[in-house]
Amino acid sequence: MKLTVYGSGCAKCQQLSANAEAAARRLGLEFEVEKVTDVNAIIDAGVMRTPALAVDEEIVVEGKVPSSDELEQLLG
């Protein structure tokens, strides 16, 4: 599974990344994390609000930081 975090690298982006990783670990998933900070790449991915999270190239979260419990439900 590929988790992609889109954003500037701000505190919210880092928190989203940490929550997604924690949720994936709890579910026992094999995953890799990619962090995209380039504005043009973010726009090309169709992201309008950051931070955003994509799972296997599909945007599942945009413009907010869900808890790791919420992300666990999304990933599970």
Query: Where residue 24 sits, what CATH number does that domain have?
Result: 3.40.30.10
Q: What is the pLDDT of residue 68?
A: 95
Q: Is 76 a member of any domain?
A: no
CA distance 29 to 32: 10
Q: Which pLDDT score, from 0 to 100, does residue 52 have?
A: 98
* Sign of the dihedral through C-alpha 62, 67, 68, 72: negative
Number of domain units in the chain: 1
What is the mean pLDDT of the segment spanning 42-70? 97
User: Which pLDDT does position 48 carry in this prediction?
Assistant: 94
Q: What is the DSSP letter of 11?
A: H
Which residues are catalytic, by number?
A: 10, 13
Q: Is residue 24 part of a domain?
A: yes
Domain assignment of residue 74, yes or no: no
Q: pLDDT tens digits, residue range 3-53?
A: 999 999 999 999 999 999 999 999 999 999 999 999 999 999 999 999 999
**Which residue type occupies 70?**
E
Domain assignment present for 63: yes
What pLDDT score does 65 carry? 98
